[in-house]
Structure 1
């Protein structure tokens, strides 16, 4: 393999030749006795040397950059000056250490926003947890509408505000719920695991590709879990409180003989405190059915925005078996810190698994802020 020194020597030699060819080309151009063939020959020599010089310089610069990166890596994460590159390298080091059962260096945690107090005991330092958990996830349609936090032992008031001279709540359903459930919501720790399959090729590949592959897998896993618990029609034991459809939350059902009328009635049934900020979560199939009925052969409604048709913004979620109407700021996902990481191996495929054990909770802070639109056929 050609060394960096050899490329530098070649650049120097060809550079000198190219400089002479430029001088020769200029001399031929200014000599009135030169023929067209002589001018073309001088220009061809100059261009060929320029092409050769540029090609060698490209190889030289690429090899130099590679060696600088290796040197920085050998010196440790702390030696990298570029903040973005430092984070990527630190994340890659964290993942590789976990996959190979090695100790995670303290400066890796420091680069990711953590100190060494945990001794490498928790997986998600601040930077990683923000990227994986708190970053908006397009695959979970509730993100950006429901609240999302990462706070240990989180407790929140059910109502966003109260008035010091008021001893009542205008909405009696809310007042009854506060009396029954209390004025605060306490979040619990519910464990789940996310598996990111990583091949040996990816592990040994570039830092950027490794980090992107693992983080995308973790984000997809987190989003899938959030959707699963929020829209579960038969929640797992211990997860009943997380679902909009569970009997434990007892969200009021508003029924009508059509989906369209049920949604309209559900919006109207909300107290005005929630109606102003209400949105509709529904499957695209349900919306298509509504449009087909309302359009009645006309193409006009097919091009209209969902909000123009239903009167409130629409969030499409295939998991929503029945439309949910309400103020989704009263839906809250919280991730407890203290996530751990480990490795596993799929014997059948030979793929290594980067495994994250996380703890989270989804709470519907006020069931009275929501309605479920249901269809009941006329008797």
Structure 2
């Protein structure tokens, strides 16, 4: 069941009151809504309440989402010292590639403020639905839009911001002619502490190709110990520890709502600031199979 529907009745009612007032532009929130969502009516009329914005931005949609494994934070001006980076809790780093990366990429990782825009359309039917259906539709739509932007950034071959994409940030590529052997070589090439927590991110077409190839070799089960995460945006499989993928949101989330006279739809838009950093490139490998 959707997480939104698991919230208590008072919380759902408060969120419903907030969205309905946002949609009809009155911004006259009830006392219970102001209290439950900690709304400052004078200052935050066009800013999403912290509790709501955190749920929309930071909660993954499903347990298999990339965001469920990544590091997610909400800190303004976040900076992480490189000295704090360890390999799955190890007190020392003995991998030459990792040591070289830490030596040449500076003393810290600085998260910047990149502005992103998302929007969803809500029909009158949804607007007039019961509170739980209404809140679920709005928040699920916003979460989906946020994650779509993030996945486009992570898996684009020509991203707007090169450091956000697995394919353009400088991750080592492992090439081969056989998807099974190439993934196996990529896992073997990872630092030993990384292998234990590594995931294999792959799209469904490549996953089917992998299963069919293994079947042709007489192998009935996928022999990798690493968990497989299906992500359709993934162009070439990515192998590595997704906890070194870090999404940070910076400061407040602004919203706006308008109803179109042309189609009768409510358009709910957000703009927010954030950054995606791959904190340790040597914790990943790109699997490139010649086709």
Q: What interval of TM-score do these two structures reach, taking the shorter chain for normalisation?
A: 0.7 to 0.9
Equivalence for 1:245:
167
Conserved? CA contact 2:61–2:140, under 8 Å: no
Q: 1:206 to 1:284 in 2, by over 3 A?
A: closer
Equivalence for 2:247:
333
Name whichever structure is richer in helix by fraction.
1
Show the 5 A alignment for 1:235-274: 235-236=159-160, 239-246=161-168, 249-274=169-194
Q: Whose radius of gyration is greater, 1 or 2?
A: 1
What TM-score, normalized by structure 2, do the two folds share? 0.86
| Inter-partner Cα distance in structure 2 for 1:283 and 1:337 | 33
Q: 1:351 to 1:290 in 2, by over 3 A?
A: same
Which secondary structure does the structure 1 equivalent of 2:67 belong to? coil
After TM superposition, what 4+ stretches of structure 1 lie above 4 angstroms from structure 2? none
Conserved? CA contact 2:17–2:30, under 8 Å: no
| Inter-partner Cα distance in structure 2 for 1:319 and 1:95 | 31
Which secondary structure does the structure 2 equivalent of 1:310 belong to? coil
Count residues in correspondence: 280
* Unpaired runs of at least 5, structure 2: 1-6
| Inter-partner Cα distance in structure 2 for 1:352 and 1:216 | 15
Conserved? CA contact 2:113–2:275, under 8 Å: yes
Q: 1:106 to 1:178 in 2, by over 3 A?
A: farther
Deviation at 1:347, TM superposition (A): 4.7
Equivalence for 1:160:
85
| Inter-partner Cα distance in structure 2 for 1:366 and 1:212 | 36
Conserved? CA contact 2:200–2:227, under 8 Å: yes
Conserved? CA contact 1:189–1:336, under 8 Å: yes
Show the 5 A alignment for 1:103-252: 103-105=27-29, 107=31, 108-112=33-37, 114=38, 116=40, 119-121=43-45, 123-138=47-62, 141-158=65-82, 159-161=84-86, 169-236=93-160, 239-246=161-168, 249-252=169-172
Equivalence for 1:102:
26
Equivalence for 1:70:
none
Deviation at 1:160, TM superposition (A): 3.2
Name whichever structure is richer in strand by fraction.
2
Instruction: Give me the CA root mean square deviation.
Output: 2.5
